[in-house]
Amino acid sequence: MFIVHNKSIFLGVTGIIVALAIVAISVLGLPLGIDFAGGSLLEVSYSAERPEKGVVEEVLAEDIDGVFSLRGSGENGFILRTHTLTSDEHEGIFEALSLGREGEVVEERFTSIGPVIGAELREKALVAIAIVLAVIILYIAFVFRHVSETVSSWKYGLVAVVALVHDIIVPAGAFALWAHYTGAEIDTLFVMAILAILGYSVNDTIVIFDRVRENLTHNREMHSKEPFAETVGRSLSQTFARSINTSLTTLFVLGTLFFLGGVATTDFAFTLIIGIIAGAYSSLFFAAPLLVQLAGREHTEGY
Amino acid sequence: MVRTRIFALILVIAGVLLGYFVYTTNGHDERFAFRLGLDLSSGTHLIYTVDVSGVPNSEVAVALDALRDVIERRVNLFGVSEPIVQIEQGGILGSDTAQNRLIVELPGIADVTEAVALIGETPLLEFKLRRTDAGALQTLQDIENGTISPEDIVLDDIYQNTELSGRLLKHADIQFGSNQVGLSNEPIVVISFDKEGEALFGNITRDNVGEPLAIFLDGVIISEPIIQQEIRGGEAVISGNFSPQEARELIRNLNLGALPVPIQLLSSQSIGPSLGSNALTHGIEAGKYGLILISLFLIIWYRLPGLIAVGALGFYIVLMLALFKIIPVTLTAAGLAGFILSIGMAVDANILIFERIKDEVRGGTDNAERAIRQGFIRAWLPIRDGNVSSILTAVILFWFGTSLVEGFALVFGIGVAVSMVSAITITRTFLIALAPNKVRTNSIFGVRTSSHNT
């Protein structure tokens, strides 16, 4: 199987992809939304055509002390993000947004989140991601315990988790780019997308490992001396098509969610699409070569 | 074979009945209508932090219950349909920052200012004694000397809490102070405490004769009478230069329920009606087209089994929608996205099974039923392992909290569990019921005879 035979190339390519994602994150940054940083978000829509963004920004600059960001929303609306507003400030800004044309502007959404909640959510998100990774490594180590004579089942868990770390760094990097161009921000939905990627992407890896597990058991029964690298390569080619297909069906629905699902879930769908592509890639081109690499010399040369 | 076919028929009927149930119970007043979260309909979501520092540890739970009751009464008075008032523990598990939170959801009220006013108008009534330590005395001295103005000091520097508060109030009444010389027309508010309050009030007045007892309303002193003697009977009189109008409002609000503990607004979210219904329409649209794409793919790639998988998927969707109604699950935009995602994942198990069946056919099994049964047995382990890790993730997501995430986690978790059952039982039944005895043409299973590894 070409992937296993050229494992250094694939491990290298994966390294470069991850490095690029990390560069994107550190250069462009991941802008925290109000869910995590605290602040207020006001979405309005105009019954007629929305006014020029520059004009609105000018008016707002008089009303808001400090930084704010204004982003177009839909065809005739704006989303305004600021520090946490008091109810007086909120009313003042809403008035300012009408630009003197009473009744033509409608408040679609107002969210105000105190810094305490934001900090708490941030901490919780990191803890949740860490727990998911830990639980998956334990679970895989547990279900693969019977094949640990060849390669310790901990290594399967470890490889699965390293692949998962790849699966979340890549969409995070892509999101940094996406945020740079669209003004999107990290919110609770982003964390959900990341956690969903963790829960989903491990499936592909498990399918391949399961084939390895089955082939190893079969080899043992047949007293076959197939090298571990060959077993992994064979398992990979046996499961290649189905791994692609399972990800493909999920990508179909995510694609429609991205294009048709409405503003609320566009960023969410974007993150998941990248994450699931990354997950499919890492299961096939990264997890298997890494498993062979980790298995060590004695297992790659003979069983 | 015959038994499987009968079972398949029963499944079809069950699916149709479920579909009928889902389709016909969507009226506004129906018990099983879909419950839409605020972001798909409209309304306000408020989070308050509850300050329980003034309440002894053993009574925090009681105070929180009382707080919920009071807010519920207040919210109900304004005729909001199906409001949610609940107490939540904030903070991370095991950290010291655990805070008590009050969550209020008001469907249909999209104006935050109005909603906050609705909750916040409830008066907070407190009774406080003057501190007698050196610092407090010094501050008082300074005020008398005019070195600092009363506005600059923190009230807590001078006053200390007693446990007596609006929490222990039984009833408030208005009286016109005809028995006091010169104040014949000034209304006074008479409040009677419950049993606990009565005892507490008795003790406080007994131990502090000659001292002032300050009465605070919403953090502002409204009167500070000197305690003349121990007061038994649990009645206190507040005279705070009220106008009759003010006194009546105070009485009404106190009787509706004074807040037992102070609360402070942490965050608020409101969503207008058009945004919510837009999100819903778009979500349904996305789900519909996603479903069409998946169905086409399955039928083209897997032929007969693909068609059966589409049927199983339809059954899965109807079953999920029925579960949403029966449990009931409040659907949010995130929950809807989770459901759409789960449609994509639900067919994964079928794909794994079909590929395994293909493996069997390629391996030389020419009896369709045997190939199918073997395929199912062999596909079970990876399906189980993959789905268990997805369900574990959903459980952790659910713990992650906040109503937004919970909606997603619940739908995602139920979806994975249900899809595992529907993919295995339903697909298997139909495959066996419909499969020909011999695999005469590989095309039925989408196996290309020329290639061994796809």
Cα radius of gyration (chain A): 24
Which of A81, A245, A272 has the most B C-beta neighbours within 10 Å, making it the best mutation to test the interface with B?
Answer: A245
At residue B120, the pLDDT reads 67
- Chosen domain end from B242, B262, B282: B262
Domain boundaries, chain A: 2-33+116-301, 39-113
Q: How would you list the strands of the sheet with B169-176, edge to edge? A: B169-176, B187-193, B235-238
Query: Taking 60 as the threshold, does the pLDDT of residue A185 lie above it?
Result: yes
User: In this structure, is residue B148 part of a structural domain?
Assistant: yes
Please report the ipTM that was assigned to this predicted complex: 0.86
More confident residue, B134 or A214: A214
- Whole-angstrom Cα distance, residue A113 to residue A110? 10
Determine the average pLDDT of the residues in A115-122.
Answer: 79
B276 & B425 share domain: yes
More confident residue, A246 or A116: A246
B258 & B276 share domain: no
Would you list the DSSP string of B85-101?
Answer: EEEEE-S-TT-TT--EE
At residue B450, the pLDDT reads 46
At residue B454, the pLDDT reads 39
B224 & B334 share domain: no
- Chosen domain end from B205, B231, B262: B262
More confident residue, A200 or B143: A200
B441 & B316 share domain: yes
- Give me the CATH topology for the region A39-113: Alpha-Beta Plaits (3.30.70)
Strand partners, A105: A46
Query: Taking 80 as the threshold, does the pLDDT of residue A123 lie above it?
Result: yes
The pair phi, psi for residue B363, each rounded to 5°, is -70, 0
At residue B293, the pLDDT reads 95
Tell whether B87 is within 8 A of chain A (Cβ).
no
Q: What is the CATH classification number for the domain harbouring B417? A: 1.20.1640.10
- Whole-angstrom Cα distance, residue A250 to residue B294? 8
At residue A272, the pLDDT reads 95
Q: What is the pTM of this model?
A: 0.78
The pair phi, psi for residue A99, each rounded to 5°, is 55, 35
B284 & B345 share domain: yes
User: Please, how many CA atoms are within 13 Å of residue B453, restricted to the half-sphere of its CB?
Assistant: 9
* Structural domains of chain B, count: 3
In chain A, pLDDT over 70 holds for what percent of residues? 95
User: In this structure, is residue B200 part of a structural domain?
Assistant: yes
Cβ contact, residue pair A249, B344, below 8 Å: yes
Task: Show the DSSP H helices in chain A as ranges.
Answer: 2-5, 7-28, 34-37, 53-63, 87-97, 115-143, 153-182, 188-222, 228-260, 266-281, 288-295, 297-301
Which of A192, A201, A244, A267 has the most B C-beta neighbours within 10 Å, making it the best mutation to test the interface with B?
Answer: A192
At residue A301, the pLDDT reads 44
Residues of B in contact with A253 (CB under 8 A): 286-287, 290-291, 293-294, 340-341, 343-344
Residues of A in contact with B289 (CB under 8 A): 256, 260
B:312-351 residues touching chain A, CB 8 A cutoff: 333-334, 336-338, 340-341, 343-345, 347-348, 351
CA B5 to centroid of chain Cα atoms: 44
The pair phi, psi for residue A286, each rounded to 5°, is -125, -50
B15 & B83 share domain: no
B414 & B277 share domain: yes
Task: Give the tens place of pLDDT for each residue, B14-42.
Answer: 999 999 988 888 877 777 888 888 888 88
pLDDT tens for the 454 residues of chain B, in order: 688 888 888 888 999 999 998 888 887 777 788 888 888 888 888 888 888 887 777 778 888 888 888 788 777 766 677 788 888 776 554 444 557 888 888 888 877 777 777 676 666 778 888 777 777 777 777 777 777 766 666 666 778 778 787 777 777 888 776 555 455 567 788 888 888 888 888 888 888 888 888 888 767 777 777 787 788 877 887 776 777 777 777 776 677 666 778 888 888 888 888 888 888 899 899 999 999 999 999 999 888 889 999 999 999 999 999 999 998 888 888 888 888 888 888 888 899 898 888 888 888 877 888 888 888 998 998 888 888 888 888 888 887 656 567 778 888 889 989 988 888 888 888 888 887 665 554 556 666 654 444 3
Determine the average pLDDT of the residues in A275-285.
Answer: 94
At residue A286, the pLDDT reads 93
User: In this structure, is residue B329 part of a structural domain?
Assistant: yes
- Chosen domain end from B216, B240, B262: B262
- Whole-angstrom Cα distance, residue B249 to residue B188? 12
At residue B2, the pLDDT reads 80
B342 & B430 share domain: yes
Q: What is the CATH classification number for the domain harbouring B216? A: 3.30.1360.200
CB count in 10 Å sphere of residue A277: 18
Residues of B in contact with A114 (CB under 8 A): 265-267
Cβ contact, residue pair B298, A249, below 8 Å: yes
Query: Which domain covers residue B184, as residue numbers?
Result: 125-262
Determine the average pLDDT of the residues in A264-279.
Answer: 93
Q: Which CATH superfamily is domain A2-33+116-301 in?
A: Multidrug efflux transporter AcrB transmembrane domain (1.20.1640.10)
B220 & B136 share domain: yes
**Burial class of residue B384 in the structure, from the number of CB atoms within 10 Å of its CB (0-12 exposed, 13-18 middle, 19+ buried):** middle
At residue B300, the pLDDT reads 92
A18 confidence band (pLDDT: 50, 70, 90):
very high
Cβ contact, residue pair A254, B341, below 8 Å: yes
User: In this structure, is residue B222 part of a structural domain?
Assistant: yes
B421 & B310 share domain: yes
User: In this structure, is residue B119 part of a structural domain?
Assistant: no
Query: Taking 60 as the threshold, does the pLDDT of residue A48 lie above it?
Result: yes
B408 & B290 share domain: yes
B385 & B323 share domain: yes
A172 confidence band (pLDDT: 50, 70, 90):
very high
**Residue in A56, A48, A40 with CA at minimum distance from that of residue A99:** A56
User: In this structure, is residue B184 part of a structural domain?
Assistant: yes
